[in-house]
Amino acid sequence: MMMLKNTWLWVAQIAVGGMLLFAGWSKVSGAPMMVEMFGLLGPGQWFRYLTGGLELVGAVLLLVPNFAAFGAVILLPVMAGAVLTHLLVLGNSPAIPLVLFLALASITWLRRERLTMVLG
């Protein structure tokens, strides 16, 4: 049972990490679609860099065994914000950020022993 849990977690972490590495890189590298989308949001392009940077850092942490739970914790509010932004500002489907949020919540919960060990 423990082996199955660990295998599922690594598959999820690699999949989510890969998706967020791609998404974060497209934001920080200035992909035209991301520049346009963040132009609609209001805070300015600095917010695109912040969001992309958090996605990159969190995604890398997801792929490091001792830091995966911390990566998930960093990414949870980013994905919550993405869900709300898609719903309330952009008016389109929040399906992808919602699935990522749920996967990150699962990773956080299932890796919580690491968080409690480090944070006390």
- How do residues 27-85 score in pLDDT, each as one tens digit? 999 999 999 999 988 888 999 999 999 999 999 999 998 899 999 999 999 999 999 99
Q: Which domain holds residue 46?
A: 2-119
- pTM attached to this predicted model: 0.92
Distance between first and last Cα of the chain: 26
How many separate domains does the chain show? Answer: 1
